[in-house]
A and B are shown apart, each in its own frame.
Chain A
Amino acid sequence: MSTLEVTKRQSRVGRRLLYLLAEHAPAVAIALCFLLPLTIGVLTAFMTQHQAGTGSLWPSPWEFGNFRKVFTAMPFGRDLLNTMLYAGLSTVGVVVSSVPVAYALARLRWRGREGVFLVVLAAMMIPAQVTSLPLYVMYAHIGWVGTLKPLIVPTFFGDAFSIFLLRQFFLTIPDEFTEAARVDGAGELRILWRVLIPMAKPAIAAVGLFAFLYAWNDFYNPLLYTGNSDTGQTLAVALSQLAKNGHQNAYELQMAASLMFLLPVLVLFFLAQKVFVEGIALTGVKG
Chain B
Amino acid sequence: MVQFNLPANSKVKKGHYYKDNTGSKNIRKVNVYRWDPSKNENPRIDTYEVDMDNCSSKVLDILNKIKNEIDPSIAYRRSCAHGVCGSCAMNMNGKNGLACTKAHSELEGDIDIYPLPHLKVLKDLIGDLSTLYKQYESVEPWLKTTKKNDKENIQSKEDRAKLDGFYECIMCACCSTSCPSYWWNGEKYLGPAVLLQAYRWIIDSRDEDRKERLKKVADELKLYRCHTILNCTNACPKGLNPAKAIAEIKKMLATA
Task: Tell me if chain B binds chain A.
Answer: no
